[in-house]
Structure 1
Amino acid sequence: MSGKEMKKTSDELFILDGRPSLGQTVPLALQHVVAMIVGCVTPAIIVAGVAGLSEQDSIFLCSHRCIVRDQLDSGHR
Structure 2
Amino acid sequence: MVEQTTHFQPDKVLDACGLHCPLPLLKAKQSLAGLAPGQLLEVRATDAGSWRDIEAFAEQSAHRLEAREQRGDIYHYWLRKAEGTSS
Q: Could you state the TM-score of these two structures normalised by the residue count of structure 2?
A: 0.27
Q: Indicate the structure with greater strand content.
A: 2
Q: By percentage of residues, which structure has more helix?
A: 1
